[in-house]
Amino acid sequence: MRKDLRPYWVKKLHLKFRYWYAEHFLRPACDHLGEHHTIMSPWYVSISGPNIRIGDCVTLIGEPTKRVKIGVWGREIDTGRIEIGDNVLVSPGSRISASDEIIIGDNVMMANSVYITDSDWHGIYDRTERDERVTPIYIGDNVWLGDHSVILKGVTIGENSVVGANSVVSRNVPPNVVVVGNPAKIVKELDPQREMRTRADYFADPESLARYFDEIERGLLGKNSFFNWLRALFFPTTRD
């Protein structure tokens, strides 16, 4: 990783603008967006549709070629919903698409390009209509969804379970297991008695956490020169 040459005040301006953008454009797109959110590159995060609720201390990470997309396309106006709990991590390229209902618990972690959908969106023989059956998705607390994993309609994933990279989950997953493959199958059982640290521990005191990182950035960036940073922007081959 290259050294960050930005002066501390430039970094602070960037963070304030990022927060303003999320509050101005993304909060109104939600029925509820919790406090202490961290939305990186919020201009690459799309939230659309009714009845979307997101908890406290959420982390959403958008990238230019890997937008985060959270959307409800209900069967009728103002129907369908997505609820995302507290302390949830949504990595670049992830998509959450609800026809009827997707409920995601607290402290869930989604790696790059996770896809969660509660509908096939078109029937096999009638490709102009959705299946009449309602097939909601429920993801329990502390679940970890691996890189490029896919969670299909009607699935419930129990708390603490892990879905391996590139796995396709088409059936219910019990709590405290690891599943991998297509279709995903149990390959390991976790010890429910063993202490587990989660994102709830990390965000137990979000104000103190924010101050801690601010002090680190002040120490790392405080001596950076504005003109040296400009030089690195326009002449990156000479960057220190």
pLDDT band at 238 (very low <50, low <70, confident <90, very high): low
Residue 3 confidence (pLDDT): 85
- Residues noted as catalytic: 122
In Å, what is the CA distance from 48 to each residue of 8, 82, 96, 176, 210? Answer: 34, 11, 11, 33, 29
pLDDT band at 65 (very low <50, low <70, confident <90, very high): very high
pLDDT tens digit sequence for 224-234: 999 999 998 88
- CATH no. for 31-204: 2.160.10.10
| Residue 137 pLDDT exceeds 70 | yes
Residue 58 confidence (pLDDT): 98
> Which amino acid is present at 210?
A
Residue 15 confidence (pLDDT): 97
Residue 85 contacts by C-beta under 8 Å, 6 or more apart in sequence?
Answer: 55, 104, 105, 106, 107, 108, 141
> What whole-number distance in Å separates Cα of residue 216 and Cα of residue 138?
38
Q: What 8-state DSSP symbol labels residue 221? A: H
pLDDT tens digit sequence for 13-27: 999 999 999 999 999
Residue 239 confidence (pLDDT): 54
What are the boundaries of each domain within the chain?
31-204
Mean pLDDT calculated for residue range 103-126: 96
